[in-house]
Amino acid sequence: MKTLKKTLADLLHQDAALRCVLLAVGMLSGCQLEPTTEYLPLPPPPTAALPPAATSEQRPKLAGIAAHKFSIAKDRRIVGRLAVIRTQDGDTLSDIARHFGLGYHEITLANPDIRPWTPKAGQRVLLPLRFILPDAPRKGIVLNLANMRMFYFPPKQPDVMFTYPLGIGREGWNTPLGQTTIVAKKANPAWAPPESIRREHAAKGDSLPAVVPPGPNNPLGKYALSLGFNSYLIHGTNKPYGVGMQVSHGCVRLYPEDIKALFKKTAVGMPVRMVHQPYMTAWVGDRLYLEAHQPLQKWAGQKQRLQKSLLKQLRQAAAEKGVTVDWEKVDRTLQRADGIPTPILAASLDVPELAAKAPEVQHPVHFYGQPVVPELTGSDWAILVADFHNAAMAQQLAAMLTHQGPPIPARKVGKDGTYQLIAGPFKNKKEAELIAHRIRMDFEMDAKPLPPGTVALPQENASTQ
């Protein structure tokens, strides 16, 4: 536990905190049979903070914004727009991302100076809802692993495109490239964990059954599309806050609401193409945009070649159009690699200026899927997860637990100048012991069940007891 506390303290303001702790959690995914090429998430380079919008109070706020469905013209390769939302108490970037159809990687790269799990109230969060379509036939499903995003082109609607964020294969488990098809569809799928995954869990002291039935503990969620690539699926998840990260055993994960929508739209035989395109360009009128991502680790050795090819492409485009490319801006965009389509011609605006001009979206009463922590009373079983001297550290881990799948309700409780991280409520001893075991396995923390009446109640509840 001392090691975990030190890690959290050191990384409290960094995206790496989630990877060090949340990725250690058993984010089950039954897909690939054996580990293959390594995938390692790359840390984002430093980015300028989102500037304040001096005139935002004078502009009306948007009631909503397109996040999934976009109209597309035949020769248009860019859709959507940037927007911002102002945080309120209790928000997390994960809740904001899911509500607006973004993945964890997308929203944290776009907002590197905001703490993902404990943002301050009133901060302006950039919603990177502008996307460049990958260079691939507009037919069926196209997955760009580089930006962890799916593009779906309905067969009878050539002027419409749907897009969804993805979770893909983690370190040692490779999501494949190439072309295949949907070979089967299954609602409420059972999961038979491959022997390799069962060995992985057994090594942690957490045995898996031969078959996991449908339900809240099934990592496939409620819908699965089997692909022609042997043992690979596009499926839902019982851990939605891993979407937009490299956390699976090779399969492709979608938010539960997104796989439900896709499941209804697709049919057996639909083509599926998986590509890796970290650098994409698109014209909008006389403006040229560049969208840059860090190549995934498998292709990291090709980064120089990929960038050289991009620069050649940009020189040719500039010569054909008779325009001037701002090469310093190209370099900054490549270094930033935040996935935000950026205009790169001379005298064009950069991301900070675009963000300052972005419209503000109204804050909803409740973000879609945002977990609610039930009140803890003196008659409930609970779990003591850890003690902290730092309130922000305790709140961050509480938010992480609450956003687990299935959720583990947690809150920080002040006690004698320190902060206890308390999980609960639980209805009985058995449930509390099962969750404590799960925390020990996933977080390597010595969580201890607490009988009713033995936990100091949170201050917000104490007055009602």
List residues with catalytic annotation.
Answer: 235, 251
Name the CA radius of gyration of the chain, rounded: 23
Pairing of strands 271-275, 140-144: parallel
Q: With residue 318 as reference, give the H or E element that holds it.
A: helix 303-321
DSSP state of 457: P
Which are the contacts of 128, defined by CB distance < 8 A and separation ≥ 6? 82, 102, 106, 107, 109, 110, 338, 339, 340
Give the C-alpha separation, 406 to 402, whole Å. Answer: 9
Please name the residue that has the structure tokens 């390799």.
196
Give the C-alpha separation, 407 to 426, whole Å. Answer: 12
Pairing of strands 124-132, 140-144: unpaired
The number of beta carbons lying within 10 Å of the beta carbon of residue 105 is: 27
Among residues 183, 299, 196, 189, the alpha carbon closest in space to that of 232 is found at 183
The number of beta carbons lying within 10 Å of the beta carbon of residue 37 is: 15
Which are the contacts of 305, defined by CB distance < 8 A and separation ≥ 6? none
Q: What is the per-residue DSSP string for 391-414?
A: HHHHHHHHHHHHTSSS---EEEEE
Which are the contacts of 217, defined by CB distance < 8 A and separation ≥ 6? 238, 406
The number of beta carbons lying within 10 Å of the beta carbon of residue 352 is: 14
CA 142 to chain CA centroid, nearest Å: 18
Task: Decide if 28 contacts 209 (C-beta within 8 A).
Answer: no
Among residues 327, 245, 195, the alpha carbon closest in space to that of 27 is found at 245
**Per-residue b/e over 170-204, b at no fewer than 16 CB within 10 Å?**
bebbbbbeeebbbeebbeebebebbeebbebeeee
User: According to the 3-state scheme, what is the secondary structure of 26-72?
Assistant: CCCCCCCCCCCCCCCCCCCCCCCCCCCCCCHHHCCCECCCCCCEEEC
In 402-456, the DSSP E strands lie at: 410-415, 418-426, 448-450
Among residues 193, 141, 163, 171, the alpha carbon closest in space to that of 248 is found at 171
